[in-house]
Amino acid sequence: MLISVLQYLDGKLPIINDTKILLVISILLCLLLLFLAVYQAYLNTNQQLLREKNQLQIDFQRMQQMYYESILKQNEDIRRFKHDFNGHLQTIRYLNSQKSSQELEHYLQKIAQQANIHLQTKYTGNKVVDILLLDLCNQAHLNEIEVRIDGYLPNQLFIEDFDLTTICFNLFKNALEAVSQVSVQEERVIDIFVDYVDQTHFVMEIKNTISQKVEIKDNQITTSKADGINHGIGLKNVAATVEKYEGYLSLASSEKVFSVKLFM
């Protein structure tokens, strides 16, 4: 714009050389300031992406530590239970011989509780996904949310672990936040299905109940967070990751259920 003004004035007015020089310097300074502003915006964007990436790595490391600790706890629970198993059998035989059916039933219930005291750590077979599912299930349990998981994934997938974490972390988090808004206890449910084809294609579908219908336009959520639905958080990162692998992402919503399907 400034260059166009200078060219116009140069053709219409007898501007002295010193004035021309000042105008040129002013234009150069404006261009320099514009460049610096664009560069600063670029740096700010990169810093924000770096912070998000670092935070995601920190969260994943935390969940990974919890995953391995739960495995150790599970192994310890199994070892202790096996150690006392013969003693439990003797007590069961004694109660059965005394025909104490009520005491026997009570004792068997205690054994069942002890046998299931450990956390489940294997959901799909894929270590990365299972770490994230363990964290999801623990948080869902605390919030009285039912999580149903179906499907199998191998450890070796064509998707990089970081990208797989980006997808699952954001989708699981959004589902948990949305179901937390549902007031009816029986309707607080998250369904997760995963599958794969020859380790070259990955399929995931997540359905969760919602407190109100989510507005979707052009496969993007238009409902704001202020409306009580948090699905939009992280979906842009998910979409970008799916696009990186030339995959397919689909969002759908009814009055009570929101679903995400992806194929990569």
Q: Are residues 245 and 159 in the same domain?
A: yes
Residue 107 pLDDT: 78
Q: CA 104 to CA 198: how far, in whole Å? A: 50
Q: What are phi and psi of 98, to 5 degrees?
A: -85, 0
Residue 148 pLDDT: 95
Residue type, 13: L
- Two tokens, residue 212: 């109100």
Q: Are residues 131 and 146 in the same domain?
A: yes
Residue 181 pLDDT: 92
Q: Are residues 205 and 238 in the same domain?
A: yes
Residue 228 pLDDT: 41
Q: Are residues 45 and 62 in the same domain?
A: yes
Residue entry with tokens 């599912």: 133
Q: Are residues 11 and 140 in the same domain?
A: no
Write out the chain in H/E/C secondary structure.
CHHHHHHHHHHHCCCCHHHHHHHHHHHHHHHHHHHHHHHHHHHHHHHHHHHHHHHHHHHHHHHHHHHHHHHHHHHHHHHHHHHCHHHHHHHHHHHHHCCCHHHHHHHHHHHHHHHCCCCCCCCCCCHHHHHHHHHHHHHHHHCCCEEEEEECCCCCCCCCHHHHHHHHHHHHHHHHHHHCCCCCHHHCEEEEEEEEECCCEEEEEEEEECCCCCCEECCEECCCHHHCCCCCCCHHHHHHHHHHCCCEEEEEECCCEEEEEEEC
pTM: 0.60
Q: Are residues 62 and 88 in the same domain?
A: no
Q: Are residues 46 and 113 in the same domain?
A: no
Q: Are residues 157 and 252 in the same domain?
A: yes
Domain for residue 261, yes or no?
A: yes
Residue 226 pLDDT: 42
Q: Are residues 173 and 127 in the same domain?
A: yes
Residue entry with tokens 């704001």: 224
Q: CA 257 to CA 5: how far, in whole Å? A: 59
- Two tokens, residue 94: 């004694």
Whole domain around residue 199: which residue ranges?
122-264
Which residues does the chain have with pLDDT short of 50? 13, 15, 117-119, 226-231
Handedness of CA 123, 126, 127, 133 (dihedral sign): negative
Per the structure, the count of domains in the chain is 3
Which residue, among 111, 179, 172, has the nearest Cα to 145 in the 3D structure?
179
Q: Are residues 3 and 58 in the same domain?
A: yes
Residue 51 pLDDT: 73
Q: CA 245 to CA 56: how far, in whole Å? A: 20
Q: CA 200 to CA 27: how far, in whole Å? A: 54
Which residue, among 169, 210, 152, 157, has the nearest Cα to 63 in the 3D structure?
169
Domain for residue 78, yes or no?
A: no
Residue 227 pLDDT: 45
CATH code for position 197 = 3.30.565.10
- Interstrand relation of 216-217 and 146-151 (parallel, antiparallel or unpaired): unpaired
Which residue, among 135, 166, 131, 138, has the nearest Cα to 57 in the 3D structure?
166
Q: Are residues 222 and 260 in the same domain?
A: yes
Q: Are residues 9 and 139 in the same domain?
A: no
Domain for residue 243, yes or no?
A: yes
59, 93, 119: which is the final residue of a domain? 119
